[in-house]
Amino acid sequence: MSVFRIIAATAQKDFRTAISYRIGFITSIVAAFWGLFAFRFVSKLVNTGQFAHSTTSYFKFAVVGLLFVSILEPTAAGTALSARNEQVQGTLEYMASQPVRRIVLGLSWSAYGFIQSIIVAAVVVCLIVPLGFSVSDVNVPVVVAVILLTIIIFSSIGNIGAAIVIVFQQGVPLVAGLLSIVGVISGTLFPITELPHWLQFFAHLSPLTYALEALRSALLSNQPATSYSTDLLVLVGFAVVTLPLSAVFLERAFRMAQERGSLATF
């Protein structure tokens, strides 16, 4: 209970800080919408018969991929960025003196980025319906499960990024770069079958590949329940490994910074 309260309190603090700048939320909606608007025209050039999910228009395929990545990016890179902001603002050291587990601190850093991106994604979905985006026979439990599992995995990746920031005072570009690579090889904009074989190997090491596969099936093509089980099991496996791993990384990072006396340096 107190874990959720701390996460909620930190998200509220970040929300209050964000609205004190006023235009940030609106610009993020405009940016997300404009990116998808362009894909409405790109989709006219793509022959959907060339790849799996051929019953789906390329526009829908790309929208699901881009919107999902737009939710994950603030969650993962946002965690490292929050750690860096706390460091630069001078609040990291004080946070470290509070009776909070390091992993809870890490998860709380990703909360606002996740909530904001979910709201932005919901608003953008409403805006792109007139452009031809629709879903049918949605498997809601699978969609919810995929989002939750992927958020746990990417928050954990963000926590590892935050740990790097705490030790080296840098790390945000590393996480953002990693996400960019993962986005390309995991089928955000095109099926992974279009990739060279050696890259397909790496695509299968990415949790985003399985998340997008399950999400597109659940949102766009009404697959039977059994077809999601492998993807969901793989995502559970990733979550079970990455969350405790990120807790260990964060704990170690704080301990190193305590030994070096660098929590207040940036």
Partner 1 sequence: MRGVGKTLRGRRIISDVDLTVPRGSIAVLEGDNGAGKTTLIRILATVVSPDEGTALVNGHSVITEGMEVRRSIGVSFANERSLYWRLNAFQNLELFGKISGLSKRVIARRSNALVEELQLGAVANGQVMRMSTGQRQRLMVARALLNDPTVLLLDEPFRGLDEQGLDALCRLVVRRAASGMTLFIVAPLIAAVTPIADASYRIDEGTVRRVPLGQTEPMEYP
Within 10 Å of residue 239's Cβ, how many Cβ atoms?
20
Dihedral-angle region of residue 169 (phi above 0 means left; psi in -120 to 50 means alpha; beta otherwise): left
The whole-angstrom separation of Cα 217 and Cα 136 is: 11
Residue 157 or residue 263: which is nearer to partner 1 going by CB? 263
CA angle 210, 128, 182 (to 5 degrees): 25
Query: In the complex, what is the shortest distance from the CB of residue 255 to partner 1, in angstroms, rounded to a whole number?
Result: 7
Query: In the complex, what is the shortest distance from the CB of residue 158 to partner 1, in angstroms, rounded to a whole number?
Result: 20
What single string gives the DSSP state of each residue in 7-63?
Answer: HHHHHHHHHHHHHTT-SHHHHHHHHHHHHHHHHHHHGGG--GGGSSSTTS-HHHHHH
Q: Is 186 helix (H, G, I), strand (E, B) or coil?
A: coil
Query: In the complex, what is the shortest distance from the CB of residue 169 to partner 1, in angstroms, rounded to a whole number?
Result: 14
Residue 222 or residue 258: which is nearer to partner 1 going by CB? 258
Residue 26 or residue 88: which is nearer to partner 1 going by CB? 88
Query: In the complex, what is the shortest distance from the CB of residue 128 to partner 1, in angstroms, rounded to a whole number?
Result: 33
Residue 2 or residue 136: which is nearer to partner 1 going by CB? 2
Residues that bind partner 1 (CB under 8 A): 2, 5-6, 8-10, 12-13, 16-17, 20, 89-91, 93-94, 96-101, 255, 258-261, 263-264
